[in-house]
Chain A
Amino acid sequence: MTAIPAERERFVPEKSSILPSLERFRFSRKRGNAPSPCFYAIQDAKPLRTFAGIALSIALAALGLLPGLSQAAENRAELMQAHRGGTVRVVSRSAGGTIDPQINYAPLYWSYYGGIYDGLVTFRKAGGVDSLVIVPDLAEAMPSVQNAGKTYIFKLRKGIKFSNGRDLTTDDVVASFQRIFKVSSPTSGTWYKDIIGADACLAKPDDCTLDGGIVADKSNWTITINLTAPDGEFLDKLSMPHASILPAETVARDVGIDPIPGTGPYAFESYDPNKALVWVRNPHFKEWSVEAQPDGYVDRFELDFGLTADAQVNAIINDQADVMFDQPPASRLAELGTKFPKQVHLDPQLAFWYLPLNVNLAPFDNLKARQALAHAIDLKAVINFFGGRNLATPTCQILPPGMQGYNAFCLHTKDPGSKWTEPDLDKARQLVDESGTKGQTITILTEDGEISRNIGSYLQSTLNSIGYNANIKSISGNIHYGYIQNTNNKVQISVTQWYADYPAASDFLNVLLGCGSFREGSDSSPNISGFCDKDLQAQMDKALALGITDQAAASELWAAIDQGMMEQVPLIPLFNPKQVTLVSKRMGNFQYSKATNTWAYTLGWVR
């Protein structure tokens, strides 16, 4: 996903907890990790589809563990009886644009699509590490992966209805994948470009058929997806809202404010971008998988727009609202953490704040100038702007803790090692002198948000202290991200952040610094630095390919790439943030999905 405001939270798993979640896709060890038609995309936490797995399940059942599941179901029924009902009022600063799940790419509605729409697979509806597991959703089971990872076969569940009462069929699945291209979904050219027929669809969206790419077998209720090349992250991409399955008759254009029926436990009731978005129970919903799409406890959700972050905080502490979408203002964190600690939830994120340095413009076209700034910044001081060390962790690298390939290191600090210690201003000044860039003018571009502006002011002060003439420009957060990406705007340095769409090293390194991510003159050029190193790109391509066959080797390679990138300093990482969510006193069972960086709202209750 594009860089998004701090409100869109991403999980930073604990080191000990990350491996299971990031190694979902494994090859049978018996097959020596060789790519073959017998490649298995099997999740660690899912029932194993191998003979050994089935045998293990039988053994567990025999040992009496399966009755435990029955007990869990009973407990859930009791909880449902005790807590079902009520209305939750969510508050946010503004509306999030179109309600179309295949077009919208903003964090606000992505947080709530999960209870409205379903894909063939999804991230488990749970909090913490559990949410990182991909589970079958509209598909009966995880797909059978064939043809060396290029073919995925899903068997569709029967008996599922859309909120308009119509039955889900394989036609809806085919039409939904076609619609991704017909409406020019923001990720149609990236995430789904490897589906056979996607090239033609991208060229002529209106005529998109995906012939040979999406094949439905109506009699067997199966959907076969054929790819042009193996994609180790394809199931992640199918779990995103853009791959939601919608009724086949849905118009092939942006629906704007007219909600599309979905299959989840809730359905949008009304949407007024100037006022509120309301969703209520889907009368046709019958729970088919507690993991994929549990029935919700709450009857009705009202998302009201137009409240500043301060007003949202006030609404919560005055019992006028239940959840605030936006991050509380930094100036009120101490108050909230002291007076309302039970109502505050802190969740780590797969994200980082960073400073993209334009390697094609002076002075940062000079490696020593980039290194100088990296040495000069006091990361410990910078995290104060985000709320202090309990909300942000200084980082010197691109991959966040817990991410595949993460190996802690810090090159640009007083004592280089595994972590940042303190700034080295003497070395910074020396590097500036050596670079011959001393006295040059640098304009820092920040968005007008509190944190970004404060970091920009600090950066200005730091740049001035090492010999530059820095000034700062703040522009609206609505246009900032597009502006800093466009090379025509000649942005030398900016303050921004990146929140992973899904947990993969490539979603950081390849997206932010890959040669293919740099598009001159485009507002959609996530490689803001304009950095392209052929050797590192070759390594990234190798790591992507290796990820399908050998996750461990791929991880090692990603770690080396991470360090290789930071030796070139195309960007300066600042910190890995945590999400702060303030909820009302009555809000129970708040759980934060680490996979989607959103509140798993179907699990919460207010009664």
Chain B
Amino acid sequence: MATEPAFGLALPTSTGHDEQTDARARGPWAQALHRFSRNGSALIAALVLIVVIVASLLAPVYAIWIAGVDPFSSNLESEITLGGERLPVLAPSTEGLGIGVMPIGPTWQFNAYFLGADEQGRDVMARLLYGGRATLLIGSLSTAITLVLAAFVGICAGFFGGWIDRILSRVLDILWAFPVYLFAICLSIVLLNSRIELGPIVIDSSSLIIPIMIIGVIYVPYVARPIRGQVLALRKSDFVMAAIGLGVPPHRILIRDILPNVLTTLIVFVPLMMALNIATETALSFLSLGVQSPGASWGTIIRDGQSLLYSRPWVSTAPGLVIIVTIVALNILGDGVRDAFDPRAKLRP
């Protein structure tokens, strides 16, 4: 069978170049890894992401062992000791007319309200870390759903063509016709209104599965379209035509010839889609349509701090900054991954 290796379509035909020879010797995955390891920006971005992920995973350690707080319960009456002084977490104003109650601001002490408290008296730092877990979990799982669905739809439509392609393409067209955020908001409103019961499966309205599914679905057309285009090209390539001519079963061609070549595109999409999905999740949660109270995500924390923007700006700006850092890192990483897996990179000096 004339199966070509992954990346094979774009491998240069010229020979004699040491690097190219070495590359052939290493194989396509090793080549990609090698190229990625030489991309300083991408490595730094990956490092930043690892820090964010590890910090988020350590959220319980911070909340329980370091700060000693419950980030999901209101804490309206408690006090902390700071510099030998007892301070209320929510302090009523004692000056002027004595109106207004202000949550404690950043103490910059790691074990006590490092970033201050929100209006419920909850530790913003602890919620930020827990929020990272929710946001990253939703971002990554929804990305997986997007890519799996998009790959399935794109490959089926591109490979089988005919009425399958027409139906799938029209479905994608319909999904694409909706502005993506409007579509996500509509789905959220419907699904969050009551819990979902599908036979024995019951999904509570506060479950993270709902935003994961919503975000995972709405971006399928954005990935499936280019995949379909790529499969259409592959379908007409010599090695696939040869396989078909030799009577290789379609599922075998799909698995052995098409999927490996599409995989690189999907890999390139991973960080980019994850960045997009994180941004969407934070937007939905900011609108109360994603992660539900008392759960935390970076979007919900921004919303919680919205009314404190003048007096306690860190409640909103801290998750905002983390979102920026994470998305920028994911985009840089995405560029690095694309460069690593894009064979044209080898033509660059």
Contacts and interface: CB of A to CB of B under 8 A. Distances in A.
B is a partner of A: yes
Interface of A: 310, 329-339, 341, 344, 346, 378, 380-381, 384-385, 387-391, 448, 450, 454, 456-458, 460-462, 464-465, 471-474, 580
Given A381-B74, A385-B101, A471-B292, 18 more contacts: A310-B309, A330-B101, A331-B307, A334-B100, A335-B311, A337-B95, A337-B96, A337-B97, A338-B93, A339-B96, A380-B77, A381-B77, A388-B99, A390-B99, A448-B288, A457-B120, A461-B74, A473-B205
Interface in B254-293: 288, 292-293
Contacts, number: 115
Interface in B88-122: 90, 92-93, 95-102, 119-120
A385 B307 CA distance: 12
Interface residues of B, number: 33
A461 B119 CA distance: 13
A448 B312 CA distance: 20
Nearest to B88: A384
Interface in B273-327: 288, 292-294, 307-312
B307 A334 contact: no
A454 B119 contact: yes
B74 A388 contact: no
B37 interface: no
Contact of B100 (A378, A387, A456): A387
Query: Which 3 A-B pairs rank lowest in CB-CB distance, beginning with the nearest?
Result: A333-B100, A334-B100, A337-B97
22 contacts: A310-B309, A310-B310, A331-B102, A331-B309, A331-B312, A334-B311, A335-B310, A338-B93, A341-B96, A346-B97, A384-B76, A384-B92, A384-B101, A387-B100, A388-B98, A390-B98, A391-B99, A448-B288, A461-B72, A461-B120, A471-B204, A473-B205
Contacts of B308: 331
A362 to B, nearest CB: 16
Contacts of A330: 100-101, 119, 307
B188 to A, nearest CB: 12
Contacts of B90: 384
Nearest to A448: B288
A356 to B, nearest CB: 20
A389 B73 CA distance: 22
Interface string B192-232: 11000000000011100000000000000000000000000
A337 B294 contact: no
Interface of B: 72-74, 76-77, 90, 92-93, 95-102, 119-120, 192-193, 204-206, 288, 292-294, 307-312
Chain B interface, >50% SS class: loop
Contacts of B74: 381, 457-458, 461-462
Given A332-B310, A378-B76, A458-B76, A390 B97 contact: yes
A454 B308 CA distance: 13
A492 B161 CA distance: 53
B77 A378 contact: yes
Nearest to B195: A441
A390 B101 CA distance: 10
Contact of B95 (A338, A387, A461, A465): A338
A459 to B, nearest CB: 9
Question: Interface residues of A: mostly helix, strand, loop or mixed?
Answer: helix
A458 B120 contact: yes
B73 A333 contact: no
A458 B76 CA distance: 9
Contact of A465 (B73, B100, B312): B73
A34 to B, nearest CB: 49
Contacts of A454: 119-120
Contacts of A380: 77
Contacts of A344: 97, 99
A344 B95 CA distance: 14
Contacts of B72: 461
A388 B77 contact: no
Nearest to B194: A443
B101 A388 contact: yes
A288 B208 CA distance: 66
Nearest to A340: B96
Q: Which of A333, A385, A474 has the most CB of B within 10 A?
A: A333
Contacts of B93: 333-334, 337-338, 388
A388 B292 CA distance: 27
A589 to B, nearest CB: 20
Contacts of B311: 331-332, 334-335
A354 B95 CA distance: 29
Contacts of B205: 471, 473
Given A448-B288, A461-B120, A334 B77 contact: no
A461 B121 CA distance: 12
B192 to A, nearest CB: 8
Contacts of B99: 333-334, 336-337, 344, 346, 387-388, 390-391, 580
